[in-house]
Each structure stands twice: as C-alpha cells, then as structure tokens.
C-alpha cells in the first residue's frame, strides 16, 4: 500500500493511526474528516505535509468520496459517531454517519475496485455478565444495546453483504476499548485524567463494577495495518490485549500515577443502559497473523497517555468546562 484514504483521521483512533503510519511506513495519507466536535485538526499538527493531507468533508458526500477513493490504494474507515450517551439523546447522526456513510464508501470502493478495511467495535456483541468466563469471538452473535452499537452492527453487516454480493475486497475488525493520546475528554479515561489535572475529583459511574477490555491505541493500529496487508478478504478479526479492568480499578490506577489517594473519587449516578462487561478473544488475530500487543500491561501503557494530557493542556482545556457542565446536568 502506497497511499491510503483514512476516514475520521482527525478523531482519536484515526489520528493515532495516521501518526502510526507516518512513523512506521512510507505511505502517503489523505484524511477525510467532517471535523465534528470529536474531530480535531490539531491532532494532526506537526505531521509532514508531503505525507499527510487533510480534506474537510462528509463521508456521505458521494462525489467527494469518489474523487478521494480514486486517488488511493485502500480505504481505512474509522469515521463514526461513537459516544453511546449521545446516541441515546439523539440517534439521528449515528444512523446517518454509521450507516449511510459506510454505504457511500462501500459503493465508491465497489465502483473503483479498491481495498477497504472497516473499523468496528466489540459493542456490537452486547455485553457479558461480570462472572461469565466467556469472551467475544468472531462467531459471537450480534446483540447491540444502544443506537450507537446498533448502527455499528448494521455497518458491519453492510460490509459483509458487499463482500458477498459484489466481491468488494474488504476486511473488518472489532476492537475493545482504546486508550491513548488525542482522545476526547468526554471519554472515560481522559475525563478522569483531566478531572485530576483541573482539581476535580474523578467520577465513577454506579458502583464502578463495569468491566472494559482496554487496549493501547498503538496496539490497535498496528493490528489494523497487519490486517489490511495480510488479512483474508471477507474475514473479521477481533483486536484485544487481554486488558480487562473494572472502572474502579482504572480510576484507582489513574489516581495512583498522578500521586493521589486511591479513593479520591466520587460515585455518581450510573450511565443509562450501561453494559456490564466487554471481553475480547483475539486468538484468531494472534494465531493467523502473528500479532502481539506492545503494551500487554495496562498500567504500563497508561503512563505515556497520562503524561501526554499533562503536557498538552491547550489541546483539551477549551472543551473541559463544557464537557463537565453536560455531565453535571446528567448527575454524572
């Protein structure tokens, strides 16, 4: 692959993917991003202009998408509306971006015979009981529980149908919860880090027992590149680093690394429809493609992102007060 179109490349995982490509490949990258509140042009600052170009636009804009797809070897589709709580307040943007946007991209790569990789989430599988020994695998039935996860599940099924019906050269990946730099502060880990950095106490939803399977964003993106180059067409690969932690453990680790007392947090009202537990079985990815995480230990992987938020207050400070005001209205 010499040239990629990366949708959502100014968002959290997408921007980190673009930076990973610059550091680890010789690819040129065109980023297509609508720059909604979750996209930030500053997340691409400092990248070489001869390698990375930002196009501000909508993935539902077929003429624009057609022109950009024609100039690349492959499309990696990160762009999505992705905040569960927002999907409960207003599902419409999730249907438009996650379903219509994916359809638009699929039709463009179908017409031009281009390679396509689809980024998805483990939330399409619903959730697991806290004491369930099982983990999600590629054969787990879909059971989405929110408009966000339902629209992501629908987008996955569109990709599979376009592979089978039209021979589109596509792969899919479903990943567990990412952490790392450039993540919007509405998300759990950066919210708690920036709470401490601004003199607020971290907020723990419900009892803090809900479990997520955490993976460093660079480990996720290394897996995406591997799947794009070596994955079997039509296949789905689950990406996870065996990083199951409950929310209380995560908050306590953040407090520990920032030199605070481990109980210096507040319990707040639980999130509506809060899934209990996610857990990924990445055996297929590891055995078939030889992928291994660089950060198998969550506490080790968290050190650099905490330092990044400490050193880059200008990136997140403007959004902090507004984000906290929104959460306060929800009792969180």
Active site members: 122-123, 148
**Count of CA atoms in the C-beta half-sphere (13 A) of 266:** 11
SS3 305: helix
CB neighbour list of residue 203: distance below 8 Å, 6 or more residues apart: 191, 192, 195, 265, 266, 268, 327, 332
**How far is C-alpha 65 from the geometric centre of its chain's CA atoms?**
22
Look up tokens 């219509």; give the residue: 100
What is the number of residues in the chain?
A: 332
CB 79 within 8 A of CB 30: no
Look up tokens 């998805």; give the residue: 120
Report the alpha-carbon distance of residue 300 to residue 282 in Å, rounded: 20
CB 134 within 8 A of CB 149: no
Tokens of 101: 């946007």
Report the alpha-carbon distance of residue 17 to residue 10 in Å, rounded: 10
The torsion region of residue 253 among left (phi > 0), alpha (psi -120 to 50) and beta comes to alpha
CB 124 within 8 A of CB 160: no
DSSP annotation of 273 reads T
Report the alpha-carbon distance of residue 173 to residue 179 in Å, rounded: 17
Pick the closest to residue 19 from 55, 59, 48, 40 (CA basis).
48
| DSSP H/E element including 136 | none
């Amino acid at each position: 692959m010499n040239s990629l179109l990366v949708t959502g490349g100014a968002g959290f995982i997408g921007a980190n993917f673009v930076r990973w490509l610059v550091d680890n490949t010789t690819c040129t990258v065109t980023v297509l991003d609508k720059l909604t509140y979750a996209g930030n042009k500053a997340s691409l600052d400092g990248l070489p202009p001869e390698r990375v170009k930002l196009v501000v636009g909508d993935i539902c804009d077929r003429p624009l998408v057609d022109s950009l797809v024609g100039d690349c070897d492959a499309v990696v589709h990160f762009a999505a509306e992705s905040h569960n709580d927002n999907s409960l307040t207003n599902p419409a943007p999730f249907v438009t971006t996650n379903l219509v946007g994916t359809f638009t991209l699929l039709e463009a790569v179908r017409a031009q015979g281009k390679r396509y990789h689809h980024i998805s989430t483990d939330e399409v599988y619903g959730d697991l009981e806290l004491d369930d020994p099982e983990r999600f695998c590629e054969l787990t039935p879909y059971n989405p529980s929110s408009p966000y996860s339902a629209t992501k599940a629908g987008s996955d099924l569109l990709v599979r149908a376009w592979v089978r019906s039209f021979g589109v050269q596509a792969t899919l990946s479903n990943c567990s919860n990412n952490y790392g730099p450039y993540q919007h502060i509405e998300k759990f880990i950066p919210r708690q880090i920036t709470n401490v950095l601004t003199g607020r106490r971290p907020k723990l939803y419900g009892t803090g027992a809900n479990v997520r399977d955490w993976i460093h964003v660079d480990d996720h993106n290394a897996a995406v590149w591997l799947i794009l180059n070596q994955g079997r067409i039509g296949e789905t690969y689950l990406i996870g680093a065996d990083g199951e932690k409950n929310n209380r453990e995560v908050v306590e680790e953040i407090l520990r690394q920032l030199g605070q007392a481990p109980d210096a947090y507040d319990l707040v009202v639980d999130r509506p429809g809060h899934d209990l537990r996610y857990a990924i079985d990445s055996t297929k990815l590891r055995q078939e493609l030889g992928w291994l995480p660089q950060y198998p230990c969550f506490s080790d992987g968290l050190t650099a992102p905490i330092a990044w938020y400490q050193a880059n207050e200008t990136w997140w400070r403007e959004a902090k007060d507004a984000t906290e005001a929104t959460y306060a209205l929800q009792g969180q």
